[in-house]
Amino acid sequence: MKAETIRIGQNKMDVILPVVLTPLWGEWEGVEASVRLRWEEGKLFIRFMVKETQLRRMTQQHNEAVWEDSCVEAFLMREGEKEYVNVECSASTRMLVARGESRHGRQYYPVEFIDTIPLTITVMEHTNAGSRWRADLELDLVALGLMESGERMEDVKLLGNFYKCGDKLDEPHFLAAGEIMTAAPDFHRSEYFIPLTFTRP
């Protein structure tokens, strides 16, 4: 069952229950992924856990085709707004960050800004039998334009979705936290974003 609302608290990352990403299109045998989320004032912390048969890390520059690699992604939008932000992370540590109203005509954030986004890729296993890796990401929601400075997180209403993909892997796959009702893979569908609720202990 896909997530319908994701409640985000402030517990330590290791004790937060994961949201399982489930396959939507294509081949996915041997691929498992989940995401954990926590917050502090103005910041969203994201941890993806991935198990897959192939680890592809070819992207060398920010704002390039990271989705062709072993890739995890967070798409976020302020409720009531038309533009959303996509943050896509290759296992190579390169990122693509952009905003806009649809897949087309997106505005890329400067490479200098992307360099300030904390991202850690940890490879726990990488053999012929498969790989296991983790992506830890810290997003400043104010800097990304998703909230105002001084706003309380409990008052911020975001929508979003979280993905795992790998378009140029031997077996391309597309997993998501929330259902997307399209015949072909398309993560850029904000009408399917999930409500995100920020809570205190």
Quick: pLDDT tens for 154-191: 999 999 999 999 999 988 899 999 999 898 889 999 99
**In angstroms, how far is CA 108 from the centroid of its own chain?**
16
Average pLDDT over residues 100-109: 95
Would residue 134 count as lying in a domain? yes
Would residue 187 count as lying in a domain? no
Average pLDDT over residues 76-85: 96
Would residue 188 count as lying in a domain? no
pTM value is 0.94
Which pLDDT score, from 0 to 100, does residue 114 have? 98
pLDDT range class, residue 1, cuts 50, 70, 90: very low
User: How would you class 178 by CB atoms within 10 Å of its CB: exposed for 0-12, middle for 13-18, buried for 19 or more?
Assistant: buried
CA distance 66 to 72: 9
CATH number (domain holding residue 141): 2.60.40.1190
Would residue 138 count as lying in a domain? yes
Checking if the pLDDT of 143 tops 90, the result is yes
- Domain range holding 83? 22-180
- For the chain, how many structural domains are there in total? 1
